[in-house]
Amino acid sequence: MEWKREMTARLKQAGHGERGKIIAEYQAVTGKSRDALYRAAKECGFESGRKKREDKGMLKSELSEYQIHFVSSLMQSTARQGKKGVIMTVRRALEMAIDNHVIEAGQISESRLQAILKERGMNKAALDSDTPSIRMKSNHPNHCHIFDASICIQYYLKKGKGLAILDERDFREKKPKNFAKIKQRLIRMVLVDHCSGTIFVKYYVAAGESQSITFDFLSSAWHGLGHDQFPFRGVPFFLLMDAGSANIAKGILAMLEALDIEIPKNMPHNPRRQGSAEGAQNIVERDFECTLHLEPAYTIDELNAWARDWMIHFNGSRIHTRHKMTRTQCWLKITPEQLRECPSDEVLQLVYREPEFERTVAQDNTITIDTVCYPLKHIPGIRPRVKVTIRRRPMLLPQIAVVWNEEEYLVNPVAIDANGFQVTAAEIGVEYHAQPETATQKARKVNDNLAFGEEKKKGDIPFGGTLVVHGHQAAKLGNLTTMPKRGTPMEVGRDLVAQNMPISEFLKKLRDAAGRIEPALNKELKATFGTSIEINRADEVIKAICADQEWRDMDADQAQAL
């Protein structure tokens, strides 16, 4: 401003003792304080010329940065996780800092500490304030959808009586037992198109959120109502949602991936990202549910029918403050390229149930899925009998995605002619089609060329018979000598070498033939033959003992006579 420049020029030219008069003059005409006028002059280039204090920048309270942050940290780290989080007072934080010898007793007063924390943006009000947010935009209708689930506070399922309205005198914070009695609550699911602001709402009766509810709701929203006055439908390119267990379930995530829907990563505990859905929840409560006390719904079907009627009217009549159109008018600006029609429920159920599966490549480098044949010969390195992973791509039907060697390839099905043959098949007697050579086939050709040359003939020996293979193996051992080992003679035959019988078996055989064996005879037999006896000799001894003949020095003639 002109007066600032004028005041600054006068201050620069003023002599000793005149600056105070000039400042007082401008105080009278501007109503500003002395310090404010000097700051304004400094902004315009005025320098007082005074020597700077040695303690400039130090706190008057003589508290260090660490001491101030320690007090603020105590207040922040003990806060509740939510709105109005800080509960510790400055007095209590100061007391703890003194007790832990961080601040000396009497070093600073509570009021002065409160003032310092406020000046530095470190007091309760500052710590409880929201972090700065950014505004997000979407490029067109159906570019991004946001959905959120909430408990309908007005309704619950009353056993045997359908939907019932909660009586706030019985269901409130001071009577938690009454809430515990409710097994089935009314869940409100809301989806918002970020660009147009179109709202889609549907109610469910359940104990809580689940995958099945999420699946049904998204399917219902993306298929639309099929009503001429509510054309909203289609699959978005991006989807924002909270990290609830039902939403991040593998089946739901696999279905969204199959539909080529991206899910931007979310910062934990950041509900403002779903701000449009939160706002839509409030709109539904204030504009639709508020009237249910006047005409209550007693079945979930009746409630959803009324919700559909409300959706058609609200989206088609209320002017949105941002784009100054009704939500339906704004959504109708969508182009054919931007409107991705949602596949049928059968296809959605299929990708939800089985988003990926395996197939074995056939001999002709094809795979078959639900009687439909897909050629894979264009995929590098593919060969018969290997397994590939199939990913369903509903938005690209009839194409499918084939994963091989960690790369994804889109594959079109083979067309079938009137006779059921593939249109790409070679016609007998007219043409010949060859499959592209696989890496293995190429390697085989190289190997054959190396072993037999360019022309392989019947009976050819590999490498022209030049390889030395036999007759030199033993020579590889060099001067190796081994220590001779003594062996154990073998019993090579019943007729060549006499066989022995254990003495215990002999005595048993003798007992069977002669009856009781006297102890003296038993002892003598063991002393004579030891642990075993030849089988032929055993028979001779048994016959001699049974005949009451001498058995000790029996010669061959006696044995023959026996």
Among 84, 101, 128, give the residue marking a domain's end.
128
Owning domain of residue 378: 355-448
pLDDT of residue 490: 55
Q: Is the pLDDT of residue 27 over 80?
A: yes
**With 90 as the cut, is the pLDDT of residue 206 above it?**
no
Residue 221 confidence (pLDDT) = 97
- Highest average pLDDT, of 347-351, 429-433, 480-484, comes from 347-351
CA nearest neighbour of 421 among 433, 438, 436:
433
Same domain flag for 93 and 11? no
Concatenating the DSSP letter of every residue in 211-223 gives HHHHHHHHHHHHH
Percent of the chain with pLDDT over 70: 77
Strands 199-206 and 356-360 turn out to be unpaired
> 81-85, 127-131, 321-325 — which is least confidently predicted?
81-85
State the average pLDDT over residues 94-99.
92
Q: Between vectors from CA 209 to CA 205 and to CA 210, what angle results, nearest 5°? A: 105
Mean pLDDT, residues 134-156: 81
Q: What is the pLDDT of residues 275-321, one digit of tens each?
A: 577 889 999 988 998 887 778 777 889 889 999 999 999 999 999 99
For the segment 441-448, the average pLDDT, to the nearest whole number, is 75
Q: What is the distance between the alpha carbons of residues 283 and 192, in angstroms, rounded to a whole number?
A: 11
Domain shared by 366 and 420, yes or no: yes
- Residue 453 domain-assigned (yes or no): no
Q: What is the pLDDT of residue 324?
A: 95
Cα separations in angstroms, 482 against 471, 475, 477, 479, 485: 21, 15, 11, 10, 9
Amino acid 135: pLDDT: 64
Residue 108 lies in a domain: yes
Highest mean pLDDT among 121-135, 136-150, 220-234, 476-490: 220-234
Contacts for 284-292: CB closer than 8 Å, 24+ residues apart: 284/188, 284/190, 284/199, 284/201, 285/153, 287/314, 288/201, 288/314, 289/152, 289/154, 292/154, 292/155, 292/165
pLDDT of residue 418: 64
Flag the least confident range among 37-41, 137-141, 243-247: 243-247
DSSP helix/strand/coil, 171: coil
Q: How far is CA 322 from CA 273, 489, 545, in A?
A: 18, 108, 127
Clarify whether residues 313 and 413 are in a common domain: no
Provide the number of structural domains found in the chain.
5
- 378 and 505 assigned to the same domain: no
Residues 284/199, Cβ–Cβ less than 8 Å: yes
| pLDDT value of residue 284 | 93
Question: Would you say residue 483 lies in a domain?
Answer: no
315/382 same-domain check: no
Q: pLDDT tier at 501 (50, 70, 90 boundaries)?
A: confident
* pLDDT grade for 514, boundaries at 50, 70 and 90: confident
**Per-residue confidence (pLDDT) for residue 331, from 0 to 100:** 97
Which among 331, 366, 386 is the end of a domain? 331
> Which residue, of 422, 448, 474, is where some domain finishes?
448
**Together in a domain, 162 and 305:** yes
How far is 189 from 137, CA to CA, in rounded Å? 23
406 pLDDT exceeds 50? Answer: yes
Q: What is the pLDDT of residue 271?
A: 46
Least confident of 348-362, 391-405, 410-424: 410-424
CATH number for position 157: 3.30.420.10
- For residue 473, tell me if it sits in a domain: no
User: Does the residue 139 lie in any domain?
Assistant: no
Predicted pLDDT at 496: 41
Looking at the fold, whether 314 and 408 belong to one and the same domain comes out as no
pLDDT at 283: 93
Residues 159 and 273 placed together within one structural domain of the fold: yes
Task: Report how far apart, in Å, the C-alpha atoms of 533 and of each of 25, 493, 549, 558 are.
Answer: 145, 17, 19, 19
Assess whether 100 and 215 both reside in one domain.
Answer: no
Q: What is the mean pLDDT of residues 457-483?
A: 75
- Are residue 153 and residue 242 in the same domain, yes or no? yes
- What is the average per-residue pLDDT within 54-75? 74
Exposed/middle/buried for 190, CB within 10 Å: 0-12, 13-18, 19+?
Answer: buried
Predicted confidence (pLDDT) per residue in 103-117, tens digit: 999 899 999 999 999
What value does the mean pLDDT of the chain take?
A: 81
Highest mean pLDDT among 34-48, 223-237, 417-431: 223-237
Least confident stretch, 180-184, 306-310, 354-358 = 180-184
Is residue 413 within 8 A of residue 386, CB to CB? The reply is no
Assess whether 206 and 324 both reside in one domain. Answer: yes
Domain-embedded: residue 324: yes
Q: Are 413 and 398 in contact (CB under 8 A)?
A: yes
Do both 121 and 149 map to the same domain? no
Asked if residue 203 is part of any domain, the answer here is yes
Check residues 133 and 185 and name the one with the higher pLDDT: 185
Residue-level pLDDT at 67: 92
| pLDDT attached to residue 94 | 93
Is residue 459 in a domain? no
